[in-house]
Structure 1
Amino acid sequence: MLKTMQKHGVTLALFAALATGLTAVVNALTKDTIEQQAVAQQKLLFDQVISPDSYDNNIQTSCVVVNDSPLGKGERHIYVARKGQQPIAVVMETTAPDGYSGAIQLLVAADFNGKVLGSRVTAHHETPGLGDKIETRLSDWITHFAGKTIQGNDDPSWAVKKDGGQFDQFTGATITPRAVVNAVKRAGLFAKTLPAQVDNLPVCGAQP
């Protein structure tokens, strides 16, 4: 009986080692492909919020970090678009913390004069059929920020129509669009402060 148990134990150990080794091999073989696909998907998303013809650098590698900013708590990545080495706009990761069902993650592109170039929702938990109209697959609502300029923090047009602003709310759902409008506005205003500091911000992935 003891020999049988030992034999089974050795067999299980060998099987576990083989499975672990196989998993490691698969991960090694697919790692580069997965990373390439992630980069390609990010580029497609960037192209939706900022025209690739407007800058001439590799915006995906021109990444800096801000912490606990108007973009949200914790670390946020900012991608700097340059023309002839001159910063002309940014693509920012930002959060609307006050969505109906929790935080809404966004990508917002803006120049340094308060003009929003584009915005997209990247993650949310809003109610299907109501708040989820912030997704482009369901509605073009999120695209209406592009080309609009924020005159200042008290700009009354940067609100949903129910609050006297220019942006539609959704039938039966005002909290979600209100949260997104406010987040895009905060990001656009923050972009106006970046020219003086963008070249001094830490680079993404740099050790402190």
Structure 2
Amino acid sequence: MSHRYTAANTSLRTAGIMVLFTVTFTAVMSATYDATRPAIEASAQEGKMRLINEVLPPSSYDNGLLDDFVTLGPTPQLGLDDGGRIYRARRAGAPAALVLEAAAPDGYAGRIQLVVAVGADGRVSGVRAVGHKETPGLGDYIDPRKDRNKTQPWIGQFAGVSLADVAAAKWTVKRDGGAFAYRIGATISARAVSRATGRVLEYATENRDALFAAQSGSRI
């Protein structure tokens, strides 16, 4: 009886210690998260703004861009299977540009995540490939950080172009009869980005007024 009693006490004591440890650990982790969350969120916001500034000049708008957005559900035209966001730039209250999350589903190594800015004048302001698995040293020139031509990165050729300049059917590489350059040996990556950018431009042009009129933070 004494042995069983001692064993039971030991088990209870061990269980109590484990519960206390779990509660304490959870409380510490929660406090740590609460303390670091503002810094993490601020860092994420800064990262988004750095990216947006690459495709849209900060001088072109004066609103709080990250707070002025609409959320999309699945949108095949933009390559968004799970939806995404569109940020709206305004200057003195008037529409200035749309910054759209998008994707090219047909890259050489899979999906290529994109951010495309389209001005209120219907011209592409800038394009960036923000996530991809294209072949290093070959197809990854779609990312200007990896493009060996630092003076004139390949992806810069879309800036300033509108549907009035290049018809929708011509938003592909020259090899396919389109308007845009590509690099020998890496046509697929360039084709995917060129076509996706054209689709984004079409979407932004067709839906511009409704996108700017929607309530901020709404899902459309």
TM-score (norm 2): 0.84
2:4 match = none
Query: Secondary structure of 1:136's partner?
Result: coil
- Whether 2:123 is the aligned partner of 1:110: answer no
What whole-Å deviation, never above 9, does each CA across 1:27-86 have from its counterpart, x for those lacking one? 000011111111111111111000111112111111012334321334221111112111
Report the Cα distance in structure 2 between the residues aligned to 1:18 and 1:131, rounded to whole angstroms: 50
CA apart distance, 1:207: 7.7
TM-score (norm 1): 0.89
The structure-2 alpha-carbon separation of the partners of 1:202 and 1:84, relative to structure 1 and needing over 3 Å to count, comes to: closer
CA apart distance, 1:103: 1.3
Report which of the two structures shows the higher radius of gyration computed on alpha carbons: 2
Which one of the candidate residues 91, 103, 107 is aligned to 1:95?
Answer: 103
2:54 match = 48
Query: Secondary structure of 1:60's partner?
Result: helix
CA apart distance, 1:113: 3.9
Whether contact under 8 Å (1:112, 1:191) holds in the other structure is no
1:150 match = 163
The structure-2 alpha-carbon separation of the partners of 1:109 and 1:199, relative to structure 1 and needing over 3 Å to count, comes to: closer
User: Which residue identity lines up with residue 141 of structure 1 in the other structure?
Assistant: W
2:39 match = 33
Runs of 5+ in structure 2 lacking a partner?
A: 1-6, 148-152
2:200 match = 187
Whether contact under 8 Å (1:130, 1:171) holds in the other structure is no
2:154 match = 141
What whole-Å deviation, never above 9, does each CA across 1:124-155 have from its counterpart, x for those lacking one? 1222232222222211222222122233323x
What whole-Å deviation, never above 9, does each CA across 1:76-123 have from its counterpart, x for those lacking one? 211111121111211101111111222111100012443110011111
Query: Secondary structure of 1:13's partner?
Result: helix
The structure-2 alpha-carbon separation of the partners of 1:199 and 1:149, relative to structure 1 and needing over 3 Å to count, comes to: closer
Q: Which has the higher strand share?
A: 1
User: Which residue identity lines up with residue 27 of structure 1 in the other structure?
Assistant: Y
Report the Cα distance in structure 2 between the residues aligned to 1:115 and 1:197, rounded to whole angstroms: 18
Runs of 5+ in structure 1 lacking a partner?
A: none
Aligned residues with identical type, % of pairs: 36
Report the Cα distance in structure 2 between the residues aligned to 1:19 and 1:66, rounded to whole angstroms: 39
2:69 match = 63
Query: Secondary structure of 1:147's partner?
Result: coil
